[in-house]
Chain A
Amino acid sequence: MNLNFLYNFGRYLVLLRTALSRPEKFSMYWKETMRQMNDIGVGSLVIVCLISVFIGAVTAVQFAYQLQDSFVPSYYIGYIVRDSTIIELAPTITCLVLAGKVGSNIAAESGGMRQKEHIDAMEIMGVNTAAYLIMPKLIAALFVIPLLVCTAAVVSIGGGYLSSVPTGWITDAEYIRGVRSFFEPYYVFMMFVKAIVFAFILTTVPAYQGYYVRGGSIELGQASTQAVVYSDILILLADYLIAILLTV
């Protein structure tokens, strides 16, 4: 088991090193990066917004319920929604969802190309397949996922507003006051650090799973599932480590 882990970890590092070598033709990689940015970014925007609006809404309603008979001022709802969203919910939940959507897609795409001999065909042409198939996805994800996380945070705060103001939990002025109170720019920095680290994980782990897939459709399905499971576990682990490193 340990040997198997070490073997896979070593092979993952070697693949990353190969994937980050100099491109054969910059324009081809640029084109592929733009395509990936569109697929990952625009393709995930709706689901990210949908999830974020509910995260904000539920957070606001839960805290409003908790605070209703307390001495804590009700405008704190806006403050709590903002900070919990920026620090934790937007980056983590968004990236867990993206690990499912984007990660499984990357694993299936790379694995399908391996099984249909597309990767072999490119290798024989002289293409560095690890670089061509992984680097554009990684660069695209590192740019686009922080933007998606940022969007998720904004939409989530909007969701909190929608669930607490029109329903009468608090007033419009109270919510906005809460959102504008005690703001720490450092939390936004934490959010972006998390987004970048999670983007790296949810791109490279599925790419590794797909790139080395063997067998047929069952193995491809397993690789896709493993890609999501491992990415999710690593994202949660990284979340904990970043929390310790950036707050202690």
Chain B
Amino acid sequence: MIRIESIRKSFDEVEVLKGVSASFEQGKTNLIIGKSGAGKTVMLKILVGLLRPTAGDIWYDQTNFGQLDKRQLRELRMDVGMLFQGSALFDSMTVEENVRFPLDMFTNKTAKEKLDRVNYCLERVNLEGVNRKYPSETSGGMQKRIGIARSIVLEPKYLFCDEPNSGLDPTTALLIDELIVDITRENNITTVINTHDMNSVMEIGDNIILLHLGELTWTGNKDEVLESDNQVLQDFIFASPFLQRLRRAALSSSGE
């Protein structure tokens, strides 16, 4: 479980996060949603330690993230996996080398053990026979899956995904979502996903926090989205007239 308390972040005079407190639960897919500029990416970067908050605390289970020295931080990061928006695969390495990189850097496994683990992770994301390919020889969806394979290769306790569906067609986006949910449940890890994808919200949102202009505006889950009166949430999720009609239809058919 990850807990954040009164997180604030300012860049010069601009306050991007204004005292956000929330919990991200273990074994669930926790979504941070919000419009562009709401502070989602800053929040995710603070959670993984790429940015330091101006104020506030981050707790990884019982560990206060901000109090760790460099060595402790590095140890904690062994338990963290992250899928980047652009996948962040190393272009000059093959798929196998990309996935193997954390194993090479941090473990003393034999070559065979590493290969077995790499192959297991690639199979887990439904990618086989691509070991020798370079990232540029794979599709966007495959790159996301390679990114997931790399992020789980060290068996992390915490998984962060930044816009996992961006740039993907709806079918592939759903597959990626399902994959993340399955991996979260199988390994009982704390997964935090930064997204503004409507389908993701309605399909995999076990625990959702909505950011609006740097403030926490709404928390709930996918089942509560439809019935919520929160105007910011409704404006965000059901932005188009078509979706608004769909919502009205869904509500009337459920008896409201």
> A25 and B50 in contact (CB under 8 A), knowing A117-B86, A120-B88?
no
> Would you give the shortest CB distance from B71 to chain A, in whole angstroms?
10
Residue in A25, A27, A116, A125 whose beta carbon sits within 8 Å of that of B77 in the complex: A125
Stretch at the interface among B100-108, B174-182, B213-221, B247-255: B100-108
CB of A28 within 8 A of CB of B50, answer no
Residue in A28, A117, A120, A123 whose beta carbon sits within 8 Å of that of B105 in the complex: A28
Question: Whole-angstrom distance between the alpha carbons of A116 and B89 in the complex?
Answer: 9
Interface check A246, CB cutoff 8 A: no
> A124 and B105 in contact (CB under 8 A), knowing A116-B86, A117-B86?
no
CB of B74 within 8 A of CB of A124, answer no
CB of A124 within 8 A of CB of B48, answer yes
CB of A124 within 8 A of CB of B77, answer yes
Residue on B nearest A112 in the bound complex, by CB: B91
Interface check B82, CB cutoff 8 A: yes
> Would you give the shortest CB distance from B101 to chain A, in whole angstroms?
8
> A118 and B88 in contact (CB under 8 A), knowing A24-B105, A124-B48, A126-B106?
yes
* Most chain B Cβ neighbours within 10 Å, of A116, A117, A125, A126: A125
Residue in A24, A123, A126, A127 whose beta carbon sits within 8 Å of that of B50 in the complex: A123
CB of B74 within 8 A of CB of A28, answer no
Question: Whole-angstrom distance between the alpha carbons of A117 and B41 in the complex?
Answer: 13
Interface check A42, CB cutoff 8 A: no
Question: Whole-angstrom distance between the alpha carbons of A123 and B50 in the complex?
Answer: 8
> Would you give the shortest CB distance from A233 to chain B, in whole angstroms?
31
Residue in B48, B91, B106, B160 whose beta carbon sits within 8 Å of that of A24 in the complex: B106
CB of A124 within 8 A of CB of B86, answer no
Interface string of B101-143 (1 = CB under 8 A from A): 1101110000000000000000000000000000000000000
Interface check B146, CB cutoff 8 A: no
Residue on A nearest B48 in the bound complex, by CB: A124
Interface check A243, CB cutoff 8 A: no
CB of A126 within 8 A of CB of B77, answer yes
Interface check B80, CB cutoff 8 A: yes
Interface string of A101-114 (1 = CB under 8 A from B): 00000000000000
CB of B106 within 8 A of CB of A116, answer no
Residue in B80, B85, B90, B91 whose beta carbon sits within 8 Å of that of A124 in the complex: B80
> Would you give the shortest CB distance from A31 to chain B, in whole angstroms?
9
CB of A120 within 8 A of CB of B106, answer no
> A121 and B88 in contact (CB under 8 A), knowing A126-B77, A126-B78?
yes
Q: Which residues of B contact A117 (CB under 8 A)?
A: 84-86, 88
Residue on A nearest B76 in the bound complex, by CB: A126
* Most chain B Cβ neighbours within 10 Å, of A117, A120, A124: A124
Question: Whole-angstrom distance between the alpha carbons of A120 and B82 in the complex?
Answer: 10
Question: Whole-angstrom distance between the alpha carbons of A117 and B87 in the complex?
Answer: 8
Segment 115-141 of A: residues with Cβ below 8 Å from B: 116-118, 120-121, 123-128
> Would you give the shortest CB distance from A26 to chain B, in whole angstroms?
11
Question: Whole-angstrom distance between the alpha carbons of A146 and B106 in the complex?
Answer: 33
Question: Whole-angstrom distance between the alpha carbons of A12 and B105 in the complex?
Answer: 26
CB of A124 within 8 A of CB of B78, answer no
> Would you give the shortest CB distance from A15 to chain B, in whole angstroms?
15
Q: Which residues of A contact B88 (CB under 8 A)?
A: 116-118, 120-121
> Would you give the shortest CB distance from A106 to chain B, in whole angstroms?
14
> Would you give the shortest CB distance from A24 to chain B, in whole angstroms?
6
Residue on A nearest B147 in the bound complex, by CB: A121
> A125 and B105 in contact (CB under 8 A), knowing A118-B90, A120-B50?
yes
Apart from A25-B106, A117-B85, A125-B106, 4 more pairs, CB < 8 Å:
A117-B84, A120-B88, A121-B82, A127-B105
A interface residues with partner B (beta carbon < 8 Å): 24-25, 27-28, 116-118, 120-121, 123-128
B interface residues with partner A (beta carbon < 8 Å): 48-50, 73-75, 77-78, 80-82, 84-86, 88, 90-91, 101-102, 104-106, 154, 160
A-B pairs, top 7 by smallest CB distance, nearest first, are: A126-B77, A121-B88, A117-B88, A126-B74, A124-B82, A117-B84, A125-B102
Q: List 20 A-B contacts (CB under 8 A).
A: A24-B74, A24-B105, A25-B105, A27-B104, A116-B88, A118-B90, A120-B50, A120-B88, A121-B88, A123-B49, A124-B82, A124-B160, A125-B78, A125-B105, A125-B106, A125-B154, A126-B73, A126-B75, A126-B77, A127-B105
